Amino acid sequence: MRRAAQSWSQLLGCAILAVAPMTMTALAQDDPAQEDIIEEQIEEQPAEKPAIEEPAKQPKEAQEGEAKEETSAEADKQFAESFRGKTYQGDLEIEGWDDLGGGLVLPPVYVRQYQREDGTFLVLTSREVVPPTSNNPASYIVADALVVPPPKEGVDFTIACVQGEDETLRFMGEASKEDKEWWTDVKRAWEISIETGEIAEAKTKGVRCTNISWGQ
């Protein structure tokens, strides 16, 4: 009997130990305070920050190319401005630039067009200050200068343009090259002041440019 009592005691002890954890878990689930603690722990966990994509960087070669173009454009602008106020006699030759010709706009203003090997254009307007004599050519002073980058494909730059009914060649423009006497699809235009010779950007409406190759 004593051995049977001991066996029953051992069985009861094991049963109590097995039931105890389950009871504690159930109590924890039913306890609102325990639920609040769990929720607080979840809320306190820091939210994961979304990954921020860094902006794509331009290749070093592209950045250097853009900087070089800006430097070149600024250098050309300064080069053109250096001619303002310059006096000369006869034709003005510029090293590194081909003289494409020019002529009278209206007395005393003249215009001359040059082009560099890379396709860049240079335009100088001048005022006649001393008329020619039998012994000496006329003297001029540069009134203004304009640098025009190489036009896009299918487009050309010319100093022989007019606007509307005014037949005075005091306009310049970039126009689409067309197989006709006058180019009318003008992209950009500039006007030469017949009083001062200064160059200013103008509206393209009504501007047409001579096709110097027409009929050749």
pLDDT at residue 71, as a whole number: 80
Q: What is the pLDDT of residues 67-104, one digit of tens each?
A: 566 788 999 999 999 999 999 999 999 999 999 999 99
- Which of 21-25, 63-67, 188-192 has the least mean pLDDT? 21-25
Whether residue 160 is predicted with pLDDT greater than 90 in this model: the reply is yes
Expressed in percent and rounded to 5, the helix, strand and coil fractions of the chain are 30, 35, 35
Amino acid present at 111: V
Q: Is the dihedral of CA 71, 73, 76, 81 positive or negative?
A: negative
Cβ-based neighbour number of residue 138 at 10 Å: 16
Find how far residue 86's CA is from the centre of its chain. 33
Q: Per the omega criterion (within 30 degrees of 0), is the bond before 151 cis?
A: no
pLDDT at residue 215, as a whole number: 75
Q: Please, which residues have CB within 8 angstroms of residue 103's CB and are 6 or more apart in sequence?
A: 110, 111, 169
* pLDDT mean over 164-193: 96
pLDDT at residue 13, as a whole number: 46
Whether residue 181 is predicted with pLDDT greater than 70 in this model: the reply is yes
pLDDT at residue 72, as a whole number: 87
pLDDT at residue 70, as a whole number: 74
Whether residue 115 is predicted with pLDDT greater than 80 in this model: the reply is yes
Q: What is the pLDDT of residues 47-64, one digit of tens each?
A: 565 556 655 666 666 565
| CA-only gyration radius of the chain, Å | 43
CA 132 to CA 67: how far, in whole Å? 46
